[in-house]
Amino acid sequence: DTGVSQNPRHKITKRGQNVTFRCDPISEHNRLYWYRQTLGQGPEFLTYFQNEAQLEKSRLLSDRFSAERPKGSFSTLEIQRTEQGDSAMYLCASSLELGTSGGAHNEQFFGPGTRLTVL
Amino acid sequence: AQSVTQPDIHITVSEGASLELRCNYSYGATPYLFWYVQSPGQGLQLLLKYFSGDTLVQGIKGFEAEFKRSQSSFNLRKPSVHWSDAAEYFCAVGRYSSASKIIFGSGTRLSIRP
């Protein structure tokens, strides 16, 4: 399967613990995105990378959240000191952007998501 | 600010009937518009997208959408639904330049009556 993969698929943790999620994009894709989706809502943009550079972060991404893409391939999203309000589905997507304008030109392919439950 | 409104939270249609899902957007510049579908346990899949040109866009699985700038709408249609179309549908808008983030609506859940 050459699609976007995310691990783990499910994570249950206690409040105050740290969690880390991993996303493996489609191999030739240079852009990688993180979104958060809560029940009954559409995905909300968190951040995105062009290769290893993090180019934009949403105000939703508090200082407890950090994302990395160290070699421009896979990415990790870490949440420190988790809170119950962090419970959500965390989605990763990737795309291949050939232009330089930075617009949402090309299709973002989404992974299946990691469902986080904070007790 | 950019926003997307899907006024229908849940719609039920009979199998074989036609479908129209509504989407209105608020955007200050040239928008990119998308429709995604999300089935239980599945990732989001792109049905179709509009960037420019013909305002009637054809997508996968027999879906189409029409961009109406005067109404700020991008409604999704299908002439005859199948039971497998039951899913959550999201309309989304993307920014033309400087960033790639997509703003999603809150979704419309589609149920199919046998």
pLDDT digit string (tens) for A110-119?
Answer: 999 999 999 9
Encode pLDDT of A32-78 as tens digits. Answer: 999 999 998 999 999 999 999 998 898 888 899 999 999 889 999 99
Share of chain B above pLDDT 90, in %: 72
Optimal mutation site among A5, A35, A110, A115, interface B, most CBs of chain B within 10 A: A110
Cβ neighbour number for residue A117 with a 10 Å cutoff: 13
Q: Which positions ≥6 away from B78 have C-beta within 8 Å?
A: B18, B19, B61, B62, B63, B64, B85
Chain A residue closest in CA terms to B52: A105
CA of B38: how far to CAs of A70, A104, A112, B84, in Å? Answer: 30, 20, 10, 12
Q: Where are the beta strands (DSSP E) in B16-99?
A: 19-21, 24-26, 32-38, 44-50, 56-58, 64-68, 73-78, 87-94
Six-digit token string for B75: 């409604």
Distance, C-alpha A100 to centroid of its chain: 22
B41 min Cα distance to partner chain A (Å): 7
Tokens 């232009």 locate to A99
**Taking CB atoms and an 8 Å limit, are A42 and B90 in contact across chains?**
yes
Helix (H) or strand (E) holding A39: none
Instruction: Determine, for residues A103 and B95 on separate chains, whether the beta-carbon distance falls below 8 Å.
Output: yes
Q: Which residues of B touch A95 (CB under 8 A)?
A: 100
* DSSP annotation of A93: E
Six-digit token string for B31: 């928008």
Could you tell me the pLDDT band of residue B13, with boundaries at 50, 70 and 90?
very high
Structure tokens at A85: 């309000």
Q: Does B98 contact A102 at a Cβ distance shorter than 8 Å?
A: yes
Break chain B down into helix, strand, coil percent, rounded to 5.
10, 50, 40
How many whole angstroms separate alpha carbon A97 and alpha carbon A93? 13
Given a contact cutoff of 8 angstroms between Cβ atoms, the answer to whether B91 and B33 are in contact is yes
Mutate to test the interface with A, among B21, B44, B46 (most CBs of A within 10 A): B44
**Given a cut of 70, is residue B109 above it in pLDDT?**
yes
Contact list in B for residue A43 (CB cut-off 8 A) is: 44, 90, 102, 104
Distance of CA A51 to the CA centre of its chain: 14
Identify the residue whose tokens are 């703003």.
B103
Question: Could you report the per-residue pLDDT of A83-116, keeping only the tens digit for each?
Answer: 999 999 999 999 988 765 555 457 889 999 999 9
Q: What was the pLDDT predicted at B2?
A: 81
